[in-house]
Amino acid sequence: MPRPVASVLALLVLVAAVALGLSIGDQHVLTLATQSMILAALATSWNILGGFAGQISLGHSAFFGLGALLTRELWLGGRALPVAIAVAAVVTAVAACVVGIPMLRLRDIYFAIGTLALGVAVFITAGNLWPGISSLPAEMLRSYDFTGPYLFALAVLVVTLLASIWLAQSKLGLGMMAVREDEEAAKATGVNTFAYKLAAFVISAALAALAGSAFALFSVSYYPNFAFSVIWTFEAVLVAFIGGIGTLFGPLLGSIFFIVGRDLMPTNVDEFQVVFFGLLFVVVVLVFPGGLSQAAGRLLGRRAAKARTTGDRATAARGRS
């Protein structure tokens, strides 16, 4: 698809999404949409590290939780919301740089286990330091509406998608992909592989912090350590693989599928959700390694080929007549 056409379609989709948030009155639909966009933004941020740079992190929830915690504390403490969000993103990026320098010395499974240990340690620490519930003040609750969090989650999702699109076309992103394909070969050709991995680590962490800010704005009350739970990492990894790891819009497709599918499940089979999505993950990895985006691409390709074949036959028939 030509770039101008794609840009116009993307703009139309964005306008439609904004109009939906401003016009729809169904709070349940807004809640599902906001949850989908927060998870999609988190999964897209993880995809920069895991899909573009090939570094499978299992501690991404630490940066999501840090963004949520800082935003919530500064915002409820009297700071302007934009200031709270900016501080959360910058502090998280700096923390990711400090942590990433020693962590990225680990390779493959050791890096995954190391990041998982980091995520669990931060989760336990947050639970000990902030054991109470973080709730919005009564005056905020009286005027609370899902439209604001919806629009902010949409903005965060747009920012993460634009960052992914830019990386996919930039020298920085190509360097990350070179590391993903063969780190030793990239290093042999003079590529500073550690710098590219660290850049992916820091960028993904900062974007994860923005997703955490959206969660902090969306949630009326929650335990602060909940945002640090490793479940956020596992869900982000799951939807990235289901939608298509390393693709631009795969995490978004996977998030919509995951949130809507979970909502449609009967409430009395909540325990079955883990089994269902776990089996789905295995099936997708085995049958469609490229996820739903690959499956959709194949389907659209077959339809296009069928349409071309039908058109050629019709043209030949008219020529014979």
What pLDDT score was predicted for residue 6?
59
288 within some domain: no
What pLDDT score was predicted for residue 27?
82
293 within some domain: no
Q: Residue 273 and residue 264: Cα distance in Å, rounded?
A: 11
What pLDDT score was predicted for residue 153?
94
285 within some domain: no
CATH code (residue 73)? 1.10.3470
Residue 50 has pLDDT above 60, yes or no: yes
Residue 316 has pLDDT above 60, yes or no: no
Q: What is the mean pLDDT of residues 173-188?
A: 92
Residue 283 has pLDDT above 80, yes or no: no
Q: What is the mean pLDDT of residues 202-225?
A: 94
What domain count does the chain have? 1
Closest by CA to 157, choosing from 100, 219, 218, 99, is 218
224 within some domain: yes
Give percent above pLDDT 90 in the chain: 52
What pLDDT score was predicted for residue 271?
63
Domain extent for 78: 3-268
What pLDDT score was predicted for residue 13?
75
φ, ψ dihedrals at 199, nearest 5°: -60, -45
311 within some domain: no
pTM higher than 0.95 for the full model? no
13 within some domain: yes
> What does the angle CA 252 – CA 257 – CA 262 come to, to the nearest 5 degrees?
130
Distances (CA, A) of 246 to 48, 199, 249, 251: 8, 16, 9, 9
For residue range 82-130, list pLDDT tens digits in order: 999 999 999 999 999 999 999 999 988 999 999 999 999 999 999 999 9
Residue 320 has pLDDT above 70, yes or no: no
Task: Calculate the dihedral angle through the C-alpha atoms of 72, 75, 80, 82, rounding to the nearest 10 degrees.
Answer: 10
172 within some domain: yes
307 within some domain: no
For residue range 165-174, list pLDDT tens digits in order: 999 999 999 9
Q: Residue 61 and residue 73: Cα distance in Å, rounded?
A: 18
Task: Pick the range with the lowest mean pLDDT from 51-65, 135-149, 221-235, 240-254.
Answer: 135-149
